[in-house]
Amino acid sequence: MPVNLELKIKVDSHIPYRKILKNTGAKNRGVLNQKDIYYQVPSGLLKLRIENGNESLILYERDESGKKRWSDYRVIYFKSKKSEKIFSSVFEIETVVEKKRELFLFDNTRIHLDTVKNLGKFLELETLVVRGKKDAQKRFDNIIKLLKLDTSKQIRNSYRDLMIGKVNK
């Protein structure tokens, strides 16, 4: 099962981060329009992601209370464009998260500049474990320094949790 290390921070603007990423040679992979449909499951998180017309089912587990946000995840890709109808007839929907995501790649890290409907702007890091967790942590820390991120402002919840919290207020 793939593993990555994650960080999420709410930001006022993506502009300063976009400039830093451009100057460091991070690869801009463009804009992803994503709709994540979260389903109720006994453990972990299960979401159907519809991204620029493509569909995938993502199951992941993460200890939100831990100091570090290591995630174990699995992805299944679909050719069908009818997955939403099928899964919604089988599973109860918890919430739907819609976002526009600018994706940058740098040193085995996905850097997301997210604009999430009803939640605002965020910066998210996902550093893939390739040569062990210690190596991933080092690369992760370097990107945090590069982007001058204040980790004390880290949000230790998924967009699902933030959306459910907003609805329940």
The b/e string for 85-102 (b: 16+ C-beta within 10 A; e otherwise) is eebeeeeeebbebbbebb
What's the predicted TM-score (pTM) here? Answer: 0.88
User: At residue 17, does pLDDT exceed 70?
Assistant: yes
Answer whether 104's CB lies under 8 Å from 28's CB: yes
Tell me if 74 sits within 8 A of 1, measured CB to CB: yes
Q: What is the pLDDT of residue 131?
A: 87
What mean pLDDT is predicted for residues 68-85? 82
Residues contacting residue 70 through CB under 8 Å, at least 6 positions apart: 3, 4, 5, 6, 62, 63, 133
Measured CA to CA, the distance from residue 19 to residue 22 in angstroms comes to 5
The domain containing residue 89 runs over which residues? Answer: 3-167
The pLDDT of residue 38: 95
Number of domains present in the structure of the chain: 1
The pLDDT of residue 65 is 63
What CATH number is attached to the domain comprising 71?
Answer: 2.40.320.10
CB atoms within 10 A of CB 84: 16
For the chain, percent of residues with pLDDT exceeding 90: 65
* pLDDT score recorded for residue 61: 80
pLDDT tens, 118-158? 999 999 999 988 888 899 999 999 999 999 999 999 998 88
